[in-house]
């Protein structure tokens, strides 16, 4: 018989078996019964009494049902058939024990739900390739892996390198779009290769062409999908229309598709792209403002590109000393994911631990139940069920349980994800790609199945192996349970304790680290400060003579608002704003080598900035209205600057120049020293910082560029004992106050300083909240585990405890006896857990700040916490044990 | 046929059933009795082995079945060989003979 026809014959049978099930089964039944009848007839013919003959025939047959069962086993489709029967049986069993089922399903749903949620984040952020053509080939080229590059370097690199198929530059651009409603737009200036490099075509129109790099006439602009929808209602005839940004006209040539974002790690949420024209800047080696993007030629590696670029840079440094910091070629996806990778992997590990604990919990609940079901199983074995059948059926029960848990887990994950993404805030790149997609659902299904097998296998094997005779004896006597099974349960609980401890230690470290972050003194008092960007660029207030007057009168109106204690202006807000540097030299000191000229962060401020920020002036004075163009140039330095450069002298009265190249530079006199404040990175140690009065800065007063066309308002809300500082509520009044001076000047980026700082710490907070949540879940599950095991042990030892009480054991002795049993297990778990955490916490080295990952206090703390919870969890059943009435206990035999 | 024999003679049962049906259709008990008869009582096929084998072979397309009346007028399921079943019987017979000869040689070897 050919394999094919045999296969088709089997298939027909399988279909018949499945779909004409009742007919097939009826026939089988009749067939076997006829056999019995014929056998009986035979025996009667041989002279037996009909009733004896019948009985003998049935004995010989070995049971009609059993024979039918054996046939069913071999029938095609039997696996499905049996599984369906097992599932129905499992559901019935689970429904009959709602207490167990509900607790198990909740534990599993928590475990699987948390795993699903974290996995969908990992999937969206780490696993999915970036949405560009061959994203592996895209690299980012920056100085020292993060600093922008000067135009001349870009051009030299582009010309001299050979491993890239395209090489482009981008520069941040933001401007005021004038029109009915003035608006600040976030933009990016890009060379024509950049958008093309992504391999993503515009939705409508075109992106840039090489000729756009040196445009004639109106500059072209490409819109983002979101901006197009919002400003032009998605109309297709925007192409060719013009856009007025900062007073210049741009022609719309294309719209990028929905969701397009590049390069994701920087300048996210770009609304408009326009060509980058270097013009006379092309020869500059100092103004470092470009971020470079390149696509590797097929076959070229990042390492090869890196060594080539380093070599080129080495040569450039010989030709142009002091202008070539180390170059780093980094894959784009590494830049996008950044530090989040470690955090996410730690969280994924943590969540796997939660799931393992849930498994262990359900496993020993199953074990406890298994003992109760011992008799059921023994009876079924005695009636001829095979062990494999029992094993399969018990596993089916576990898998049904875990799939129900998984389904509920998906619901939990869906609800939790939104919170998760909101919590992560800007610390999570590609947040929009996070969701429960088919990959995640497939993952969850597999995890649920594996979970079911994991917690079901051990109890199932134990039960199906149970010896009939022993089971019947053991079950009947209700004696102290066999040592073997109790050891398995103890091991399960000890592992739960160990896993929970690892999680608690992780959460403890995250908490200490977060506390250390919170304890950082930003120098100023952020609480009660509201900030807003006011941009005159491209408006009627932009001309050189008008800017200062506008800012001054806007500031006047804001200061008069009720609830405003003080207000001032600064060019860049600490943390949220840009950080610009200036090279400086100190009067009377030898001139340093070009590469060694020190740099200071500089801010341009209005009088009253320090008061509004509550950044204490340690010595000297604030900037005043008298510090104007024409008056002697003054500067205020931070404490770090003063101590570093005039360690044993008073900085006040000393002079610095911000023009290290020229011999006849302008000297600035230090008139004040302020406390160190944070600049952009919350945890960075202090560095030199200088503050210059706005009214003396010609670039700001008259300069012609978007970068000097805005200032940031900082407002200190007045707080009293009865009224809490509510800086955010000042926002509408602030808008009106600025608008009353000139309605066309946009007020944007209104945010409280508290929010700014919260945003800066969003990453650590995300890690902390999740680790803490998982640790709490783990703690609860472990407590339930201990409670369950001890309660069960007590119930199994009722008889023994009854005897002890009868012999005069005091309640205290009984409590000690029971708790000691629990605490032995806990102690083992804690020891293993501490060892495990010491290993696991190494992964957290990059995630913690201000605390060692082996911090003894944290470990001692979480071990004590866990032990205390375990103590309580075993005390409850211990109390119950003291109430055992010896008479009742002994009668339960 | 005892359990031990079942293990030892996995394929043998199929061959015996095929052979027992070679002369004509039989019901379940008929097959058992026929096997007993042609093996001179050496093999007694128990229902627990017989029925799974019959159903398996039917699903494989070697046997066909129909309901009819037994000798003492009971409604019974009768099994008969299909063309595929005959081919299978031939194939298994050849195979069995080959093995029997081989085993015979093996046991005679010194």
Domain positions in chain B are 3-108
Q: Where are the domains positioned within chain A? A: 3-76, 148-324, 340-518+762-891, 537-744
Residues belonging to chain A with any Cβ–Cβ distance to chain B shorter than 8 Å: 1, 5-6, 9-10, 13, 27-28, 30-32, 34-35, 37-39, 41-42, 60-62, 66-68, 70-71, 73-76
* Cα A621 to the center of its chain, rounded Å: 45
Q: Does B68 touch chain A (CB under 8 A)?
A: no
User: What token pair was written down for A553?
Assistant: 């009168």
Given a contact cutoff of 8 angstroms between Cβ atoms, the answer to whether A529 and A610 are in contact is: no
| CA angle, A543 then A547 then A552, to 5° | 160
Which positions in chain A touch B58 (Cβ < 8 Å)?
13
What pLDDT is stored for residue A215 in this prediction?
67
Given a contact cutoff of 8 angstroms between Cβ atoms, the answer to whether A632 and A669 are in contact is: yes
Given a contact cutoff of 8 angstroms between Cβ atoms, the answer to whether A262 and A194 are in contact is: yes
CA distance A26 to chain B (A): 12
Please tell me the distance from the alpha carbon of residue A294 to that of residue A161, in angstroms, as a whole number.
Answer: 11
Given a contact cutoff of 8 angstroms between Cβ atoms, the answer to whether A81 and A21 are in contact is: yes
Q: Which residue of B has its CA nearest to A45?
A: B72
Please tell me the distance from the alpha carbon of residue A112 to that of residue A117, in angstroms, as a whole number.
Answer: 9
Instruction: Give strand pairing partners of B69.
Output: B75
Which positions in chain B touch A37 (Cβ < 8 Å)?
74
* Ordered mean pLDDT values, 10 residues apiece, chain A (893 residues): 67 72 82 89 88 87 80 73 82 86 90 92 89 93 88 94 94 78 84 92 92 81 93 90 85 92 84 88 84 94 95 91 88 87 90 91 81 73 72 87 94 90 82 87 92 84 62 46 66 89 91 89 91 87 90 95 92 83 88 82 94 95 93 95 94 91 82 90 88 92 80 88 69 90 87 87 86 89 84 80 84 86 88 92 86 90 91 86 76 58
Helices of type H across A176-224: 192-197
Work out how many CB contacts closer than 8 A connect A with B: 79
What pLDDT is stored for residue A760 in this prediction?
82
CA distance A818 to chain B (A): 50
Q: Does A12 or B60 have the greater pLDDT score?
A: B60
How far is CA A739 from each of CA A180, A302, A452, A535, A697, rounded to the nearest angstrom? 14, 51, 64, 12, 25
Of A186, A185, A177, A192, which Cα lies nearest the Cα of A275?
Answer: A192
User: What token pair was written down for A199?
Assistant: 């391999």
Q: Would you state the torsion angle of the CA atoms of residues A179, A182, A186, A187, taken in this order, to the nearest 10 degrees? A: 30
Please tell me the distance from the alpha carbon of residue B11 to that of residue A888, in angstroms, as a whole number.
Answer: 61
Question: Cβ–Cβ contacts within 10 Å for residue A644, how many?
Answer: 15
User: Residue A166: helix, strand or coil by DSSP?
Assistant: strand
Gyration radius from chain A CA atoms: 38
Instruction: Give strand pairing partners of A711.
Output: A534
Write down the number of H helices and E strands in chain B.
5, 3
Q: What's the complex ipTM?
A: 0.87
Fold that domain B3-108 belongs to in CATH:
Arc Repressor Mutant, subunit A (1.10.10)
Q: Is A377 exposed, middle or buried (0-12, 13-18, 19+ CB in 10 A)?
A: buried
Q: Does B74 touch chain A (CB under 8 A)?
A: yes
A183 DSSP assignment? E
Please tell me the distance from the alpha carbon of residue A342 to that of residue A349, in angstroms, as a whole number.
Answer: 11
* Dihedral sign computed on CA atoms, order A501, A507, A513, A515: negative
Given a contact cutoff of 8 angstroms between Cβ atoms, the answer to whether A257 and A127 are in contact is: no
Question: Cβ–Cβ contacts within 10 Å for residue A265, how many?
Answer: 19
Q: Which residue of A has its CA nearest to B92?
A: A1
* Dihedral sign computed on CA atoms, order B27, B31, B32, B37: positive
Of A725, A749, A745, which Cα lies nearest the Cα of A736?
Answer: A745
In sequence order, what are the residues at sequence separation of 6 or more whose Cβ sits closer than 8 angstroms to the Cβ of residue A713? A531, A532, A533, A534, A554, A555, A558, A567, A568, A569, A734, A738, A747
Phi, psi (5° rounding) for residue A824?
Answer: -60, -45
What is the model's pTM? 0.76
User: What token pair was written down for A825?
Assistant: 């297990």
- Match 């509550």 to its residue by tokens: A614
Residue-wise DSSP of A345-401:
HHHHHHHHHHHHHHHHHHHHHHHHHHHHTHHHHHHHHHTT--HHHHHHHHHHHHHHH
What pLDDT is stored for residue A814 in this prediction?
85
A257 DSSP assignment? P
Please tell me the distance from the alpha carbon of residue A231 to that of residue A643, in angstroms, as a whole number.
Answer: 52
What pLDDT is stored for residue A474 in this prediction?
47
Please tell me the distance from the alpha carbon of residue A750 to that of residue A728, in angstroms, as a whole number.
Answer: 8
What element of type H or E holds A878?
A: helix A856-882
CA distance B103 to chain A (A): 27
* Dihedral sign computed on CA atoms, order A480, A483, A488, A492: positive
User: Which of left, alpha, beta for B46 (phi over 0: left; psi -120 to 50: alpha)?
Assistant: beta
User: What token pair was written down for B54?
Assistant: 């019959």
């Amino acid at each position: 018989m050919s394999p094919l026809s045999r296969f088709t014959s089997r298939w027909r049978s399988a279909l018949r078996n499945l779909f004409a099930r009742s007919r097939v089964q009826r026939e089988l039944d009749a067939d076997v019964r006829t056999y019995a009848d014929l056998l009986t007839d035979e025996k009667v013919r041989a002279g037996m009494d009909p009733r004896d003959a019948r009985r003998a025939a049935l004995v010989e047959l070995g049971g009609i049902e059993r024979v039918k069962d054996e046939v069913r086993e071999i029938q095609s489709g039997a696996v499905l058939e049996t599984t369906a029967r097992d599932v129905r049986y499992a559901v019935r069993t689970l429904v009959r024990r709602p207490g167990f089922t509900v607790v198990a399903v909740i534990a599993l749903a928590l475990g699987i739900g948390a795993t699903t949620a974290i996995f969908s984040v990992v999937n969206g952020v780490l696993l999915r390739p970036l949405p560009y053509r061959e994203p592996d080939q895209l690299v980012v080229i920056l100085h020292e892996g993060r600093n922008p590059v000067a135009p001349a370097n870009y051009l030299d690199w582009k010309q001299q390198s050979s491993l890239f198929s395209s090489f482009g530059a981008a520069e941040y651009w933001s401007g005021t779009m004038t029109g009915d409603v003035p608006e600040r737009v976030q933009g990016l200036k890009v060379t024509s290769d950049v958008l093309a490099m992504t391999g993503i075509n515009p939705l409508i129109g075109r992106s840039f062409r090489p000729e756009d790099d040196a445009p004639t006439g109106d500059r072209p602009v490409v819109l983002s999908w979101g901006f197009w929808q919002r400003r032009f209602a998605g109309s297709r005839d925007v192409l060719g229309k013009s856009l007025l940004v900062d007073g210049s006209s741009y022609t719309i040539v294309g719209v990028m598709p929905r969701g397009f974002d590049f390069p994701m790690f920087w300048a996210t949420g770009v609304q408009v792209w326009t060509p980058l024209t270097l013009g006379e800047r092309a020869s500059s080696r100092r103004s470092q403002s470009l971020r470079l993007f390149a696509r590797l030629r097929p076959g070229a590696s990042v390492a090869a590109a890196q060594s080539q670029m380093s070599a080129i840079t080495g040569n450039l440094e010989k030709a142009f000393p002091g202008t070539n910091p180390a170059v780093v070629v980094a894959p784009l996806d590494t830049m996008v994911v950044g530090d989040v990778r470690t955090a996410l992997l730690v969280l994924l590990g943590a969540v796997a631990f939660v799931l393992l604990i849930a498994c262990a919990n359900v496993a020993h609940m199953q074990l406890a139940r298994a003992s109760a079901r011992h008799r059921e199983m023994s009876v079924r074995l005695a009636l001829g069920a095979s062990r494999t059948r029992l094993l399969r059926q018990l596993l089916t029960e576990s898998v049904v349980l875990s799939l129900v848990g998984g389904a509920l887990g998906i619901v939990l994950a869906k609800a939790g994800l939104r919170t998760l993404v909101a919590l992560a805030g800007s610390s999570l790149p590609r947040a929009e790609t996070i969701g429960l997609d088919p990959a995640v659902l497939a993952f969850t299904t597999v995890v649920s199945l594996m979970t079911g097998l994991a917690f079901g296998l051990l109890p199932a094997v134990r039960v199906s192996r149970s010896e009939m005779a022993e089971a019947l004896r053991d079950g009947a006597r209700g004696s102290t349970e066999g040592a073997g099974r109790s050891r398995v349960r103890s091991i399960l609980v000890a592992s739960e304790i160990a896993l929970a401890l690892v999680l608690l230690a992780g959460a403890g470290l995250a908490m200490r680290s977060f506390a250390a972050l919170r304890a950082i003194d930003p120098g100023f008092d952020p609480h009660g400060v509201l900030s807003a960007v006011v941009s005159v660029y491209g408006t009627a207030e932009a001309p050189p003579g008008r800017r200062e007057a506008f800012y001054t009168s806007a500031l006047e109106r804001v200061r008069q608002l009720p609830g405003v204690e003080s207000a001032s202006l600064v060019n860049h807000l600490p943390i949220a704003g840009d950080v610009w540097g200036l090279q400086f030299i100190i009067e009377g000191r030898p001139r340093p080598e070009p590469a060694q000229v020190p740099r200071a962060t500089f801010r341009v401020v209005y009088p009253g900035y320090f008061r509004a920020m509550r950044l204490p002036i340690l010595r000297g004075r604030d900037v005043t209205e008298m510090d104007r163009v024409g008056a002697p140039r003054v500067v205020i330095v931070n404490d770090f600057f003063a101590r570093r450069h005039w360690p044993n002298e008073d900085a006040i009265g000393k002079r610095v120049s911000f023009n290290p190249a020229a011999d006849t530079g302008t000297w600035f006199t230090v008139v004040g020293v302020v406390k160190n404040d944070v600049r952009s990175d919350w945890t960075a140690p202090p560095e030199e910082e200088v503050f210059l009065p706005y009214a003396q800065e010609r670039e700001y007063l008259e300069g012609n560029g978007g970068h000097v066309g805005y200032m940031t308002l900082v407002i200190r809300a007045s707080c009293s004992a009865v009224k809490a500082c509510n800086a955010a509520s000042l926002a509408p009044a602030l808008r009106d106050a600025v608008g009353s001076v000139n309605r066309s000047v946009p007020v944007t980026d209104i945010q409280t300083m508290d929010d700014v700082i919260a945003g800066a710490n969003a990453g650590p907070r995300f890690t902390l909240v999740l680790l803490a949540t998982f640790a709490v879940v783990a703690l609860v599950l472990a407590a339930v585990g201990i409670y369950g095991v001890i309660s069960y042990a007590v119930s199994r030892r009722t008889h023994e405890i009854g005897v002890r009480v009868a012999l005069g054991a005091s309640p205290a002795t009984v409590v000690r006896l029971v708790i000691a049993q629990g605490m032995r297990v806990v102690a083992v778990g804690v020891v293993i857990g501490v060892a495990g955490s010491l290993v696991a916490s190494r992964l957290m080295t990059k995630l913690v700040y201000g605390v060692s990952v082996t911090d003894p206090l944290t470990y001692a703390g979480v071990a004590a916490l866990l032990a205390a919870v375990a103590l309580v969890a075993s005390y409850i059943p211990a109390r119950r044990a003291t109430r055992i009435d010896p008479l009742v206990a002994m009668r339960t035999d | 046929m005892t359990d031990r024999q079942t293990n030892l003679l996995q394929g043998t049962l199929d061959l015996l059933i095929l052979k027992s049906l070679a002369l004509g259709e039989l019901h379940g008990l008929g097959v058992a009795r026929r096997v007993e008869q042609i093996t001179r009582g050496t093999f007694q096929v128990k229902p627990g082995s017989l029925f799974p084998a019959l159903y398996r072979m039917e699903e494989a397309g070697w046997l066909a079945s129909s309901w009819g009346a037994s000798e003492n007028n009971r409604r019974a399921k009768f099994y008969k060989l299909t063309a595929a079943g005959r081919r299978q019987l031939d194939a298994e017979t050849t195979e069995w003979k080959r093995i029997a000869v081989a085993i015979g040689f093996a046991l005679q070897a010194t």
